[in-house]
């Protein structure tokens, strides 16, 4: 994130609605959302999780010319930061996708019907996907959602049983700002992309959200409970910090 401090200005009227447009960075075209906030005191530029979009916050009253200058000054920063996100072109036949931390070679079966399945061929992990090749990313996403549900339903039940708490429901979404959430009434939600992470990271995510059933905060008591449920908490947190953005970067559309 880059920012530029400005003297606060008194807002005379409500900020305008967000502006969305495309910007070009190092040969890539990315959507940029510009939001003007009455309470903002500086210009800030953020890369959304996965590197697929940009978000800019601007104080009310800052002229458009200054916004453009700010973007121009940080082209180099954007180019450097976006370079770490891998291309998503590998989701076709012969490419690779991770399942529970293991790279699987994608094999298009050529059949219009059939289940997506993980198999081992001569010691190599292979994900066999049926359907038209244009539909492979979507079919892979559907498979990952099912695998995430299988893992997390089991892990959540185990962890919730250990602390004597009940879970109201489990839902799976493609969230970008967080890997999971827990509501006050015990409804848990997870990003199905976690199915691509190693098993100990999936276990940590389940333990993290279950711990919120008892501690709706991130206090020392919460982290102590999380570590009790999942001794590998710190290692898993480091893995997500290093690799989480890469999982978000994969385009399944």
Q: Do 95 and 172 reside in the same domain of the chain?
A: yes
Binned at pLDDT 50, 70 and 90, residue 1 comes out as low
**What pLDDT shows up at residue 10?**
52
Q: What is the pLDDT of residues 17-66, one digit of tens each?
A: 888 888 888 777 788 899 998 888 999 998 887 677 888 999 988 998 99
CB 146, CB 118: distance < 8 Å: no
Q: What is the pLDDT of residues 122-149, one digit of tens each?
A: 999 999 999 888 889 999 999 999 999 9
Q: Do 77 and 110 reside in the same domain of the chain?
A: no
Query: Given a cut of 80, is residue 193 above it in pLDDT?
Result: yes
Q: Do 51 and 16 reside in the same domain of the chain?
A: yes
**What value does the CA radius of gyration of the chain take, rounded to a whole number of Å?**
21
Give the sign of the dihedral formed by CA 2, CA 239, CA 90, CA 252.
negative
Residue where a domain terminates, one of 54, 82, 110: 82
**What pLDDT shows up at residue 203?**
98
Q: Do 53 and 116 reside in the same domain of the chain?
A: no
**What pLDDT shows up at residue 89?**
47
Q: Do 25 and 147 reside in the same domain of the chain?
A: no
Residue where a domain terminates, one of 35, 51, 82: 82
Written as six digits, the tokens of 91 are 């989701």
Residue where a domain terminates, one of 31, 52, 82: 82
Query: What's the whole-number average pLDDT of the chain?
Result: 88
Q: Do 75 and 94 reside in the same domain of the chain?
A: no
Query: Comparing 20-24, 197-201, 210-214, which segment has the lowest mean pLDDT?
Result: 20-24
Written as six digits, the tokens of 218 are 């991130």
Q: Do 99 and 211 reside in the same domain of the chain?
A: yes
d(CA 206, CA 133) in angstroms, rounded, equals 33
Q: Do 64 and 17 reside in the same domain of the chain?
A: yes
d(CA 166, CA 191) in angstroms, rounded, equals 20
Q: What is the total count of domains within the chain?
A: 2
Q: Do 171 and 243 reside in the same domain of the chain?
A: yes
Angle of the 199-211 helix axis to the 220-229 helix axis, nearest 10: 140
CB 205, CB 190: distance < 8 Å: yes
The domain of 155 spans 89-249
d(CA 91, CA 136) in angstroms, rounded, equals 7
pLDDT cut 90: percent of the chain above it: 57
Q: Do 95 and 192 reside in the same domain of the chain?
A: yes
pTM (whole model) above 0.95: no
What is the mean predicted confidence (pLDDT) over 215-232? 97
Q: What is the pLDDT of residues 61-113, one digit of tens each?
A: 899 899 999 998 988 888 887 877 655 445 888 889 999 999 999 999 988 78
Query: Comparing 7-21, 53-67, 191-205, 236-250, which segment has the lowest mean pLDDT?
Result: 7-21
């Amino acid at each position: 994130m880059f920012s530029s401090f400005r003297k606060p200005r008194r807002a005379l009227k409500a900020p305008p609605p967000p502006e969305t447009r495309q910007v070009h960075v190092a040969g890539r075209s990315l959507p940029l959302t510009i939001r003007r906030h009455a309470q903002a005191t500086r210009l800030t530029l953020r890369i959304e999780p996965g590197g697929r979009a940009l978000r800019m916050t601007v104080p009310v009253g800052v002229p458009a010319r200054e916004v453009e200058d700010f973007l121009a000054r940080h082209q180099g920063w954007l180019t450097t930061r976006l370079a770490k996100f891998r291309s998503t072109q590998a989701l076709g036949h012969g490419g690779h996708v991770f399942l529970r931390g293991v790279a699987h070679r994608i094999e298009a079966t050529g059949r219009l019907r059939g289940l997506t399945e993980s198999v081992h061929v001569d010691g190599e992990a292979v994900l066999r996907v049926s359907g038209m090749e244009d539909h492979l990313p979507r079919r892979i996403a559907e498979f990952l959602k099912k695998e995430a549900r299988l893992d997390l339903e089991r892990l959540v039940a185990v962890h919730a049983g250990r602390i004597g708490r009940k879970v109201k429901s489990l839902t799976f979404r493609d969230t970008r700002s967080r890997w999971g959430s827990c509501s006050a009434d015990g409804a848990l939600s997870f990003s199905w992309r976690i199915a691509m992470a190693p098993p100990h990271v999936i276990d940590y995510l389940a333990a993290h959200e279950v711990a919120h059933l008892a501690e709706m905060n991130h206090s020392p008591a919460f982290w102590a409970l999380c570590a009790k449920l999942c001794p590998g908490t710190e290692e898993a947190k480091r893995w997500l910090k290093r690799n989480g953005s890469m999982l978000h970067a994969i385009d399944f559309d």
